[in-house]
Amino acid sequence: MTRVSPAALREMLGDGGELALVDVREELIFSQRHLLLARSVPLSRFELKFAQLVPRRTAPIVLCDDGDGLAEEAAAILSRNGYSDVRILIGGADAWAAAGFELFSGVNVPSKAFGEYVEHVRGTPNIVAAELEKLLRDGADLVVLDSRPFDEYVRVSIPTATNVPGAELVLRAREIAPSPQTTVVVNCAGRTRSIIGAQSLINAGLPNKVVALRNGTMGWSLAGFACDKGKNRRAPAVSPTTLEWARGAAARVAQSCGVERIDRKTLDAWRADAERTLYVFDVRDPAEYEAGHFPGAISAPGGQLVQATDQYVGTLGARIVLADDLDVRAAMTASWLRQMGWRDVFILREKGTETGSPATPVLDSDTGSVSAIDSEKLGELLLRDAATVVDLSLSRNYLARHIPSAWFAIRTRLARALEKIALHGTLVLTSEDGALAKLAVAEASGLVDSPVRFLEGGNAAWQAAGNAFSDEAQMADDIVDQWRKPYERGGDTRAAMAEYLAWETDLLPRIERDRSLKFFCVGA
């Protein structure tokens, strides 16, 4: 197994070539201390996530863990699946820190730090919650545009806000605020999407006064104001006049950042290039993507692609192509990716006719022959108390609903979880759709004497068969599989929000000490 020292990895990160730096620890553990440019791909879900994040099988890969053997297991999976340039960071995160290099807490750190950089360099104007609340109360001429995805907006929103996800802002803002006298306030849950959204409109030359709501819905709540819930205000259709302005404005911004356009012929050539990694993203609204998109493109709404680039692009130095039939979303998203330091970002004006979502590629695992059980048979076994169900779903999904009497466990920590469970009858593994449960059968069979099966189709099949779910949790492991947003955590939510916002504002000096990222801002 090839290994690399912290010093050698540091050189690789600075040479400008392609590199996938992947941390295989559970997400909560990753979020406590990790390398800045590492992508989180927990070993427990490795086969389900890795191939889409790192598609080229000859790309250089470095795996990171806590020096506890997880990276070796991940390397073995990659080797079986034809990945040919895989190395392991000697000593993991501890060795990186011992070598004098920075470790970071949190998730989506490069994108979050970029938002702070933009505000610092461009002086993005903002408004505090108390001032906005008074303006709303006084009936001021303003609109509030929520730049988050629709599902986040529905959960909580600022009163009167209209949902306009980040990449849609330049396309739709003039339709919502046609008078240049109307103040435009952009918000998200915290800081990054508020800043990037507001600065997008400023960069595009929107004639209105534009401000970011400082600290978003969290700042609004911390100021003692109530958020709306369950709202569904969405932007209206775009008129030809608005579209013409938005296209011209976005094109100027993209050109100032060095973004280039390509055609299908160029894209086909790049897809055939075995020496470079290529990502093709459709940055439009997910509903537009579902209705018809360029073949092979992955849905990555532009605002989220900027907000959480590490969740979409696993290989540093890769080519990125953004597809958008109207140009505007792709141009604005590309402008931000370029300023974040991605050199090779291109626009493709295409819509396409492929519908639905392509199947996520899953790596083969050394599972051997495994046996499935259907929902009807599992129901019969449970009635006779002849089965023990262990659910390997993400903890958030398990806690929301699960098969009655099912235990929660994490795949890579099954041995410790099974010590807490009094097994009886057949051990049946399940997960959201059954794919993860199938992967874990061989591993579980080596830990117990009981027969082991997986639920075909997982919890989705259980529901489709008309069976009931439960929310009474039986936890056989700690919840370390997911980082939780401040408002999703138990305990003192206000303290968690304040801590998170302080974490965001403290990122910039730490990024500057690390020196791995090379941001720039147009117009600065």
Distance CA 421, CA 388 (A): 9
Number of domains into which the chain is organized: 4
What does the pLDDT look like over 422-450, one tens digit per residue?
Answer: 999 999 999 999 999 999 999 999 999 99
Lowest mean pLDDT among 146-160, 276-290, 350-364: 350-364
| Average pLDDT for 225-237 | 97
CATH for 80: 3.40.250.10
Instruction: Examine the pLDDT at 109 and tell me if it is beyond 70.
Output: yes
Instruction: Kindly state the average pLDDT of the residues 265-277.
Output: 97
Answer yes or no: do 166 and 92 share one domain.
no
How would residue 356 be classed by pLDDT, with cut points 50, 70 and 90? confident
- Residue 405 in any domain: the answer is yes
What's the 3-state SS for 129-189?
A: HHHHHHHHHCCCCEEEEECCCHHHHHHCECCCCEECCHHHHHHHHHHHCCCCCCEEEEECC
Domain end marker among 428, 445, 464: 464
3-state secondary structure of 284: coil
**pTM, 2 dp:** 0.96
Q: Among the three residues 77, 107, 137, which one is the final residue of a domain in this structure?
A: 107
Each residue of 367-422: pLDDT tens digit? 667 799 999 999 999 999 999 999 999 999 999 999 999 999 999 999 999 999 99
pLDDT mean over 48-55 = 98
Phi, psi values for residue 334, rounded to 5°? -60, -40
**In contact, 195 and 115? CB cutoff 8 Å:** yes
CB burial of residue 228 (10 Å; 0-12, 13-18, 19+): middle
Q: Are residues 101 and 165 in the same domain?
A: no
The tens digit of pLDDT for each residue in 315-343 reads 999 999 999 999 999 999 999 999 999 99
**pLDDT exceeding 70 applies to what percent of the chain?**
99
Where in the sequence is the domain holding 377, given as residue range(s)? 372-464
Cβ neighbour number for residue 275 with a 10 Å cutoff: 8
Separation between Cα atoms, residue 312 and residue 20, nearest integer Å: 12
Write down the pLDDT at residue 297. Answer: 95
Q: Does residue 114 fall inside a structural domain?
A: no
pLDDT band at 358 (very low <50, low <70, confident <90, very high): confident
For the chain, give the mean pLDDT.
96
Task: Tell me, yes or no, whether 364 lies in a domain.
Answer: no
- On the question of pLDDT at 188 being above 90, the answer is yes
Tokens describing residue 400: 């929301």
Q: Are both 231 and 125 inside the same structural domain? A: yes
Residue 368 confidence (pLDDT): 63
Residues 123 and 232 in one domain: yes
Please count the residues of the chain.
524
C-alpha 430/C-alpha 462 separation (Å) is 10
From 413, 429, 464, give the residue that closes a domain: 464
For residue 100, the model assigns a pLDDT of 96
